[in-house]
Structure 1
Amino acid sequence: MDHPLWSKISCYSIGPADAAFGFAQRLARENGWTVAYAGRVIEEYRRFCFLAVTAGQEVTPSDAVDQAWHLHLTYTRDYWARFCPDVLGCALHHRPTAGGDAERHRFFDQYAATLKAYEAVFGLPPADIWPGAQRRLVDDPKAWRVTPRDYLIISRTSLRRWSLFALAGLTAAILFWWRS
């Protein structure tokens, strides 16, 4: 893409260049992602920031992009003193929902419009980072984030498999007990 703002955003590096634990590593650790996936999310965050400044409408990030934005906001000096004024040329404020049906509808429509704006500028967004509006704003908010060190996480497939083994074992134990 040949746009002066995109040129500035695309070569911008978040955080101090000499950090032993960089932005991508931190983003990956805090979200349970690989560093490669975090790098892809950071690229999508750059694209989101470009759209936020150029789309002519409010834009809504995907959840993964929002995680990158949240983390970038914690790098306050970098975000407010370098990124916004020197790269974007304006303040980019994070505006979370106030809740309620009207807000849900507004963000649903806004996210769908963001995906259309994205496609017009960058082509189809990667579905693993930018899911459809239904998933992003209806299905995913019903979930909650867990830390693997605090919870035992078992996939539904594994749970079904282990349940069948347990049921078979219990049945065998009952039959053995009954016959003796």
Structure 2
Amino acid sequence: MSEPAHPQASHRDHPVWALLSRYTIGPEDAALGFARRLARENGWSLDHAGRVIEEYKRFAFLAVTGTRDVTPSDPVDQAWHLHLTYSRDYWERFCPQVLGRALHHGPTLGGEGERHRHFAQYADTLKRYEAEFGPPPADIWPPAAHLLLEAPHLRRVDLRGRLIVPRSLAWAAVAAVALLAILLVSMIVLEAKG
């Protein structure tokens, strides 16, 4: 019985991958280290944040070893954004000493053409990822169709001081608030007459 085909293992022998594999983001003695901060800021478990950091390293590898631009998944992008805030580590250690070159993060220019470019580039990134590392974990790297179907509707919300009501319960929540308002007004009117 033959063994299943595996993707090329070229990344394992690449000097950039060797450096990425040993690299830790930020100061190792920090009370709130990078993984904990990433987990806290995104509402993830520490285990999930650790997995996202490993995927971020894979993304960085693809970005600096390929000839075409790559696009991160949303979780990987969150790791990248946070890493950029560790500016000394990012620009003085990560880029020159680990990646061997600068890795800039540019925001989208917006518009329909940019949306299509982003979709095509993300789909291409997934193909390149699979060729290099095998199938990407779907919870961190969703299929490209996700960008077209779900991502345009996603918004980052600071949950502190907010109550999030699922759309399926929105009318019930509005009705409950309206009923409560009517009861309060009725009580005030009755007390005033009373």
* In 2: Cα distance, 1:121 partner to 1:53 partner: 13
Measured at CA, do residues 30 and 137 of structure 1 come closer, stay the same or move farther in structure 2, by a change above 3 Å?
Answer: farther
The answer to which structure, 1 or 2, has the higher relative contact order (CA under 8 A, 6+ apart) is: 2
Please, which moves more after superposition, 39-48 or 133-142? 133-142
Give the secondary structure class of the aligned counterpart of 2:98: helix
Q: Does 1:8 align with 2:8?
A: no
Equivalences, count: 164
Superposed displacement of residue 139, structure 1: 1.9
What is the match of residue 69 of structure 2?
58
Give the secondary structure class of the aligned counterpart of 1:87: helix
What is the match of residue 30 of structure 1?
41
What is the match of residue 100 of structure 1?
111
* In 2: Cα distance, 1:33 partner to 1:14 partner: 18
Superposed displacement of residue 10, structure 1: 1.2
Please, which moves more after superposition, 126-135 or 44-53? 126-135
* In 2: Cα distance, 1:10 partner to 1:133 partner: 27
Match of 1:18 among 5, 9, 29: 29
Give the secondary structure class of the aligned counterpart of 1:61: coil
What is the match of residue 189 of structure 2?
none
Q: Does 1:116 align with 2:127?
A: yes
What is the match of residue 140 of structure 1?
151
Can you list the C-alpha shifts for 1:20-74, whole angstroms capped at 9, x where unaligned? 1000000011111111100000000000000001121100000000000000000
* In 2: Cα distance, 1:22 partner to 1:125 partner: 26
* Unpaired runs of at least 5, structure 2: 1-11, 177-194
TM-score by length of 1: 0.84
* In 2: Cα distance, 1:101 partner to 1:131 partner: 21
What is the match of residue 73 of structure 1?
84
What is the match of residue 99 of structure 2?
88
Give the secondary structure class of the aligned counterpart of 1:17: coil
* In 2: Cα distance, 1:87 partner to 1:137 partner: 34
* In 2: Cα distance, 1:74 partner to 1:142 partner: 26
Can you list the C-alpha shifts for 1:86-119, whole angstroms capped at 9, x where unaligned? 0000000001210011111111110000000000
| AA aligned opposite 1:62 | S
- Percent identity of paired positions between Structure 1 and Structure 2: 66
Give the secondary structure class of the aligned counterpart of 1:59: coil
* In 2: Cα distance, 1:117 partner to 1:123 partner: 9
CA contact 1:63–1:136 (8 Å) conserved in 2: no
Please, which moves more after superposition, 73-82 or 148-157? 148-157
* Unpaired runs of at least 5, structure 1: 168-180
Q: Does 1:127 align with 2:127?
A: no
Superposed displacement of residue 124, structure 1: 0.4
Measured at CA, do residues 65 and 98 of structure 1 come closer, stay the same or move farther in structure 2, by a change above 3 Å?
Answer: same
